Structure 1
Amino acid sequence: MARAPRRPRIYFSFRSPYSWLAFHDLSTGRPDVVDAAEWRPFWEPDAHSEKLLTEAGGRFPYTPMSREKHLYMLGDVRRLAAHRGLAVTWPQDVAPWWEASHLAYVVAAAQGRGLAFIDRVHRARWQENLDISDRGTVGRLAAEVGVDPGAAEHAADDEHIRAEGVRALLDIHRDDVFGVPFFMHRRQKFWGIDRLADFLAVVGEGAESDAPAPPPSVSIAAHDARSSDLGHAGGCG
């Protein structure tokens, strides 16, 4: 059974443009929620992390994303970014390796610079077209926000950080998270940037009700690559 965190919990992924936009909206409009929330990384594990996750009794939700959904997202994200006065640069990922950036986030969070790292990596990927699967790039980004660049660059080689990463992946499994951005407060869950206002309303009222939130609408079948996205409500994997 999924846990019900007392603090707001937000699952994000550097892979997801909707996570970038949600972080932007919260940072500019509700910095109090940004500071109050638990920020939890969501990423597709590599073979090593997946083996450790399976051994720990967890699994990561995979489902194929269609070409049609991918093409829809291109236009949708461009439209949403323009509405916010942002220009999006689509990254050209040849062989993305999500451990590089998400395990580096584990390092940044431990050093008290997690939010600054999230902001910097989002901008690097979605506005500067930098390869966040490259260790050297991740190390340079970490240094820019006051994180030990060596620790960030080599996070995936550190078994302690790998173990922390597995615990984060287990949270995804236990909280029944299937896409990002994903917002939780107590027993209520909201998927996608389209549900951000509803999440903020619950946080604002103290979330006294333990009634589960209604499921998000699914309007378009979820790119030929492995993905965690099950549909579209302003969210993806």
Structure 2
Amino acid sequence: MKQIDYFFSTISPYTYLAGERLEEIAARHGASVRYKPVDISALFSRTGGTPPKDRHQSRQEYRLQELRRQAAKLGMEINLKPAFFPTNSAPSSYAIIAAQETGGGDMGALVHGFTRACWAEERDVAEDEVIRDVLSRAGFDPGLASSGLLLGAETYVKNLEEAVNRGVFGAPFYIVGEERFWGQDRLEDLDLHLAGKL
């Protein structure tokens, strides 16, 4: 069975735009997905990236146009300037890590639930109430918001180190073996690769 290592951020708009297409692709090819949330700001600083707020004005403007166009193509709602961005992505990431370890719910729905909360619902994914609600809606124990803190914190740090060591520099980022795919607009290439066509 092929494994897809999925590096992402719960506050990344492009992770939001990926929706649950990764899970559909994995199911089609009988692949497993290992979810690895990372601190995107730390990843940028370690790999030569620049946070959106620090980019040249022309890059910031283009980013907003691109997000609007991609959301329209996918038929997804998006608030280009959400009330709670940037915010602390660690608490929601800890919850994802704990949920993956515990099982019992829908991981794709959980990840998408957090990104949708940020980019379409004007909710702060750093707040305990939001984390519990998203966990519950995806079929997980909302108590993981607090019980998974230690495991989450340790794994979150390890995920960043693994990401840097494996050539990850943005989100979403998918790795199958030695093949790397960056961005929600490369999901088609990932699909073709798993089908043995690329």
Q: Same fold (TM over 0.5)?
A: yes
- Which of the numbers 1, 12, 15 marks the counterpart of 1:16? 12
Could you tell me whether the CA contact under 8 Å between 1:132 and 1:138 is conserved in 2? yes
Map 1:76-225 → 2, pairs under 5 A: 76-90=66-80, 91-93=82-84, 96-112=87-103, 113=105, 114-153=107-146, 155=148, 158-205=149-196
- 1:36 aligns to what? 32
More helix by proportion, 1 or 2?
Answer: 2
CA contact (8 A) 1:104 1:138 kept: yes
* Normalised TM-score (structure 1): 0.68
RMSD: 2.9
2:49 is aligned with what amino acid? T
CA contact (8 A) 2:20 2:109 kept: no
| Equivalent position amino acid for 2:62 in 1 | Y
Partners of 1:10 and 1:40 within 8 A in 2 = yes
Conservation of the 8 A alpha-carbon contact between 2:6 and 2:174: yes
List alignment gaps of at least 5 residues for structure 1: 1-5, 51-58, 208-237
Task: Decide which structure has the larger Cα Rg and report it.
Answer: 1
1:109 and 1:115 in contact (8 A); partners too: no
The residue that corresponds to 1:61 in the other structure is 47
Deviation larger for 20-29 or 75-84: 20-29
Moved over 6 A (4+): none
Deviation at 1:31, TM superposition (A): 4.2
How far is the alpha carbon of 1:150 from its aligned partner?
A: 2.7
Question: How many correspondences in the alignment?
Answer: 190
Q: Percent identity?
A: 24
* Deviation per residue, 1:145-181 (Å, 9 max, x gap): 23222321464xx333311222222221221210011
* SS at structure 2 position matched to 1:92: coil
Separation in structure 2 between the aligned mates of residue 147 and residue 194 of structure 1, nearest angstrom? 29
Amino acid at match of 2:3: R
Cα 1:151/1:24, change in 2 over 3 Å: closer
- Please say if residues 94 and 153 of structure 2, whose CA atoms lie closer than 8 Å, have aligned partners that are also in contact: yes
Tell me which residue corresponds to 1:230: none
CA separation of 1:134/1:60 partners in 2, compared to 1, >3 Å: closer, same or farther? farther
